[in-house]
Structure 1
Amino acid sequence: MSLLNVGARALLANQVALQTTGHNIANVGTAGYSRQSVSMETVPGQFTGAGFVGKGVNVATILRNHNELLTRQAAAAQAVQAADTVRTERFAQLQNVFSGGPSGLGSAINDMLNSLGDVVSAPTDLTARTVTLARMDETAARVRSSAQQLQEITYSVGEQLRNNATTINDLAKGIANVNEQIARAMGGGHAPNDLLDKRDQLIRELNQYIQTTQVPAGDGTVGIFIGGSQALVLGQQASTVSVGESKLFPGSQQMALFFNRQGAEPLELGEGTLGGGETAGLLKFANHDLAEGRNLLGRMALAIGTAMNYQQSMGLTLDGQRGKPLFNTPAAVDGLTSGSAKGSIDLSDPSKFKPTELVASDYEVRFTTPPAGQVVRLSDGKATDFTDLNNLRLAPIDGLTFDFTAAGQAGERVLFRPFATAAADMQALVHSPRELAAASPVNAQMGKGNGGTLQLAGLKATGQHWDPALNNLNGGVYADGNFYSTPSSAPVTLTFDGTGGFELTGHTEDPIDMSLSPPEPLTGPPYSYTSGHKISIDGWEITLQGSPKAGDTVTVGNATDPLHGDIYTRNAGNAGALMQLRDVKMFDESTLSDGYAGLMAQVGTRAQSAQYAAKLSESIAHNLEADRTAVSGVNLDEEAARLIQYQQSYQAAAKVLQIAQNIFDNLIQSMGR
């Protein structure tokens, strides 16, 4: 009987081995399946006078070929890869918004500025003026179109984030259900391998959407944590997440992931705590990459509108009126906070707002020890400290003045988005060709008795004056709000002494040599004269060439003075100044005409960086997954060899049974005689 038992046990053990091998082969293409193998153990022998006699073999358990460390590393790497991949895909959409060529925004800006050349050549030609205004309207339309495309991407990203949140909740619930099944099965003393594989696969799928940390429990369940320490799954209970606008800055359109807690307010999870996964990649794209694209476009729209509006206000229309704004621009931007601080940025006062110094970024004012704190430029993290609200108000940052009427509490943060809506709201405001302020409001007359070779090379209104307190030029205004542009009373006369100097009469401020870098006030009187240098006086700028003789004069006065008649209608000094804006450095050392190319380059650089990160994370994830598969994956050649091995073992065990049966039959027959 012992031999029969040995054979029977061997037969059953090899049958289980064959079944397990077949199970491996059947699941070779099943995602997340871990190869299984049979662990056999010797049945304790029976003691006899001759020693212990073996009693065969038993199946101890079915082993799951699995490496916990490799599985976790592969899941984490796949989470990072998912974040980088989805960010790269979204960048492709962002680059499509900022396309080049004749249909791009850059072409529209250049066409608008170049069209002013015809106005300069023929200031009274209404057709030339109409073409310029049409180009302005087209530029505004393309800016709005680009902003609309960015808004559509924002909506699409938001919908994908919400879908991801739903998927995360479904997967979390699935893991909790499998946890329950595993806990029940573990009561039998053996691991439910297929359920463990199912749970690991669900965890891998979950990591595609949000990176997790797994903590095993004694009952066989696994706790799933996100955001550092938030329990998404704990035993057989699953929590949920949701996506919405950040509560830290209401109205900011910044997206955030919330962890929904039982009996408590949803907890906003910081982007830095999420790690990888599509959700983290989409949040980074929405709150940083897409925000930068919006800021770059908004800064361009704001700078173009502000600069052109300012110069338009310096000129005169065909009816002799001061120019009205060409584009609408935001007057002020309020800070966003959930606390008590109240602050804004004035975008209308040229003494508080410098278009040429703007940086495409959002800003945070953080109160550390109120009223002291720091202003942080979010694009690169640069921080500027301030001691109180007055100190903050008097020290512009990147051309912006932060004006607070109430400080925040310690730790309070206030978000400023100065360029968020500038592009979406951009409109051309002037549609009548007569309202284009092409004429300069100042007129220059050379003295009738001049005997030198002095010639007028340029004259325009700038509205700039020297600020002794700041020791630099400032686009200033009088106390009553009027720009420095035209002399308010008597004309200003330059009288040359024939020795390289000149005297001034009728002026308010000392002259400034604009050809120096940086500009400096001229010392005098007498003031030194250099042929070809630009001289700024009382908010207008004159350029003279040639060699004057003693007594030569140049008189600059109001262009609408009756003694000049309607000569201002044939003057295109301000149109020339508007056209010259294309060569003004306005965007990170780029000129207005090259600003769009710089915008494309910045977006392209970020996209290229994202592509590089995606390729790197893909390589790392692929290698780690290959390492995991090397341990857990099914090799068909190996399984085929084992089939033959176990088949032969099965046949041998059957032979043992056959021999044992023959011996038993012979024994019965012998005893029957």
Structure 2
Amino acid sequence: MSSFSSLNTALTGLYAQQRGLDVTGQNVANANTEGYTRQRVTMQSVGGTTAPAVWATQPKVGTGVDVTGVQRLRDSFLEARAQAEHGREGALTAEAEAYSRIEQAYGEPSDTGLQAQLTKLWQAFGDLKNVPDGQAQRQAVLRQAESVTDGVRRAADYMDTQWHVLREQVVTTVDTVNTVAANVADLNGAIRRATQAGLPANELADRRDQLVMQLADLTGAVARGGSEGTVDVYVGGQALVRGDSSTRMVVPAADGALDRLGDDVPVSWAGTEGSPVEVTAGRLGGELRALTTTIPGQSAQLDAVAASLRDSVNAAHATGYDATGAPGGAFFGGTSARDLTVAITDGARVAASSAPGARDGATADALAKLATRPEGPDAAYRALIVDLGTSAKAVNDRLEIQGTLTSRVDASREAQSGVNLDEEMVNLISYQHAYEGAARLMTAVDQVLDTLINRTGVVGR
């Protein structure tokens, strides 16, 4: 081995420490860049010659250091955990927003809510009981009944509107998922080409991992490492992204003339429309759950309240007689909350007495007492509001807890992959001193060689 190899050893040290300084500078420059993963230079020592050769000697020491690559300091376990937590938080966020919109349909408690209108209706029947033949009291009953039916229909229409708005949002969310998945596939392809060519791809991987986390937020997707630096992304056990190709999701565009509250919203894989996408997490999962379960369930409860109001009032009204002496007919008409109407338009047709020509107000009294019946419409409406409030609070509590868990996982990820300026300063000093040491070694070897070449054999001249 040539004595000049020591110069090469020093040179490799200079190159390696300079690369370390470059990477440290990159970390410091991107300390506040969102999604950036800190990097570290990986080095390994270069051993001496292991193959024997004629007239060659081996000093039994290495020949320097080699930079084997620049590593992203990312914990795959924390990434998988974060994807799962973000998916759960996305679903709960969508559900909480759905409950918030439903609560706006009722506006309880308030002086203008449906509960207040029902109370005023029973009070109007109570006033009619005291003055059975009063025209003003009869008209007040009809006006208040119309206010109640308007409130019920308005709540039903509001939920129909929110269902269709959310239906449109599902289409938008699916389009976003398809766009992000295509971008992930494109970045996978770029990373694969860079890896094959021996070029750096860490920044491309950072951008791709941000998009993968966005897919986790949207669909609860999970990522698995692939070949040559790529990742595969799965939703419901099916591949959304595999290498540099992605599969599209499809959902029929909303059609107001055909889509109705309670209809299924099919989300399937493109080319296999009969194969549904099993989305249970992420914003898309929460939106689908709200469309198929939450809003239809609340709408069904409102229909039950409307049916209870119609049937109980009609039954009590049919037992009495109106101002003309005719038996009381149906007071309310309609088959659901959406078409609940007041069937009487003439105040004289309101049945208030228990017999023809009587002025006892017994029927009006029975109608007023519906307010306190355990199985009456008020009780059904209160049960609806209590169930809505309880369900909304449960979802919001779960969302708060999930938000805390997600924040903790994100903090752990940041501690692992984020840039710590104190640590980078220590690394900077370490690489600087190592660089100075390698330079000093090169100077010392140069002096030795100068003595050997220029001064050997000149003693005594």
When normalised by structure 2's length, the TM-score is 0.89
Select 1:645's aligned residue among 424, 430, 433.
Answer: 430
SS in 2 for 1:253: coil
Give 1:434's aligned residue.
Answer: 348
Output the amino acid matched with 1:96: Q
Quote the residue 1:13 is aligned against: 16
Q: CA deviation at 1:328?
A: 1.9
d(CA) in 2 for partners of 1:109 and 1:252? 26
Rg comparison, structure with higher value? 1
2:73 corresponding residue in structure 1:
65
Q: Which residue of 2 aligns with 1:282?
A: 287
Q: Please state if 1:161 is matched with 2:161.
A: no
| AA aligned opposite 1:440 | S
* Structure 1 residue 97 corresponds to structure 2 residue 105: yes
What is the CA-CA distance between 1:18 and the residue it aligns to?
A: 0.6
Match of 1:613 among 389, 398, 401: 398
Q: Summarize the alignment of residues 44-443 of structure 1 with structure 2, pairs less than 5 Å apart.
A: 44-46=47-49, 49=57, 51-98=59-106, 99-188=108-197, 192-228=201-237, 230-244=238-252, 253-262=262-271, 264-269=272-277, 273-330=278-335, 422-441=336-355
C-alpha displacement of 1:239: 1.5
Which residue, 359, 364, 371 being the options, matches 1:575? 364
Distance 1:87 1:14, change over 3 A: same
The 3 A distance-change label for structure 1 pair 216 and 50 is closer
State the SS of the aligned residue for 2:273.
coil
Distance change in 2, residues 1:298/1:433 (3 Å): same
In structure 1, the residue matched to 2:39 is 36
Deviation of the 1:209 alpha carbon:
0.4
TM-aligned CA distance change 1:172 to 1:41, over 3 Å: same
d(CA) in 1 for partners of 2:453, 2:102: 90
Per-residue deviation, 1:156: 3.0
How far residue 51 of structure 1 moved from its aligned partner, in angstroms, is: 3.3
1:535-585 CA distance string (max 9 Å, x none): xxxxxxxxxxxxxxxxxxxxxxxx4xxxxxxx34x3423222222222222
| Equivalent residues of 1:245, 1:254 under 8 A apart | no
* Residue-by-residue CA offset, 1:631-673 (whole Å, 9 max, x unaligned): 2222111011101111111122222333334444455543797
Larger helix fraction of residues = 2
Q: Is the 8 A contact 1:258 1:266 kept in 2?
A: no
AA matched with 1:287: T
Q: SS where residue 593 of structure 1 aligns?
A: helix
Cα distance in 2 for partners of 1:664, 1:256 equals: 81
Instruction: Check the 8 A contact 1:241/1:257 in 2, yes or no.
Output: no
Q: State the 1:8 CA deviation.
A: 1.5
On the 8 A contact 1:583/1:592 being kept in 2, the answer is no
**Alignment partner of 1:62: what SS?**
strand
What is the rounded CA distance, in whole Å, between the counterparts of 2:198 and 2:233 in structure 1?
Answer: 24
Matched residue type, 2:342: A
Q: Distance in 1 between matches of 2:215 and 2:378?
A: 48
- Give the deviation of 1:49 after TM superposition: 4.1
- Cα gap change, 1:131 to 1:151, in 2 (>3 Å): same
Mark the runs of 5 or more structure 2 residues left unpaired by the alignment. 51-55
Aligned length: 446
**Once the 2 structures are TM-superposed, how far is the Cα of residue 66 of structure 1 from its aligned partner?**
2.0
Secondary structure, counterpart of 1:41 in structure 2 = strand
What amino acid sits opposite 1:275 in the alignment?
T
User: How far apart are 1:319 and its partner, in Å?
Assistant: 1.9
1:490-569 pair list within 5 angstroms: 559=356, 567-568=357-358
Q: Is the 8 A contact 1:244 1:255 kept in 2?
A: no
Bigger mean CA offset, 10-19 vs 146-155: 146-155
Residues 51 and 635 of structure 1: CA distance in aligned 2, closer, same or farther (over 3 Å): same
SS in 2 for 1:265: strand
Cα contact 2:40–2:71 (8 A) shared by 1: yes
Shift of 1:240: 1.4
TM-score by length of structure 1 reads 0.62
Superposed CA offset, 1:442-461 (max 9, x none)? xxxxxxxxxxxxxxxxxxxx
In 1, the alpha carbon distance for the partners of 2:435 and 2:261 equals 71
Partners of 1:308 and 1:323 in 2: how far apart?
A: 11
Q: Give the secondary structure class of the aligned counterpart of 1:7.
A: helix
Higher-strand-fraction structure: 1
The AA in structure 2 aligned to 1:279 is L
C-alpha change, 1:250 and 1:103, in structure 2 (3 Å) is closer
Mapped contact 2:83–2:222 kept (Cα < 8 A):
no
Looking at structure 1, the residues matched to 33 and 263 of structure 2 have their Cα atoms a distance apart, in angstroms, of 40
Identity percentage over the alignment? 27
Please state how far the C-alpha of 1:205 moved relative to its aligned partner: 0.9
Superposed CA deviations along residues 385-440 of structure 1, whole A, max 9, x for unmatched, are xxxxxxxxxxxxxxxxxxxxxxxxxxxxxxxxxxxxx2222222322111112232
**Aligned equivalent of 1:364:** none
Separation (CA, whole Å) in 1 of partners of 2:156 and 2:185: 43
C-alpha RMSD of the superposition: 2.5
Partners of 2:162 and 2:196 lie apart in 1 by: 51
More moved, 185-194 vs 312-321: 185-194
Quick one: higher RCO (CA 8 Å, sep 6+), 1 or 2? 2
Q: CA deviation at 1:231?
A: 2.0
Contact persistence 1:211–1:276 (CA under 8 A): yes
8 Å CA contact 1:36–1:65 kept in 2: the answer is: yes
Tell me, which stretches of 5 or more residues in structure 1 are unaligned? 331-421, 442-558, 560-566
Counterpart CA distance in 2 for 1:256 and 1:660 is: 77
* Cα contact 2:164–2:261 (8 A) shared by 1: no
1:315, 1:242 → 2: CA distance? 58
Equivalent residue, structure 2, for 1:22:
25
Contact 2:219-2:281 at 8 Å conserved across structures: yes
Q: 2:262–2:291: 8 Å Cα contact kept in structure 1?
A: no
* 1:185-223 Cα deviation digits (max 9, x unpaired): 232468733333222221111100001233433344332
Secondary structure at 2:88 match in 1: helix
- Partner Cα distance (1:310, 1:672) in 2: 129
SS of 1:256 mapped into structure 2:
coil
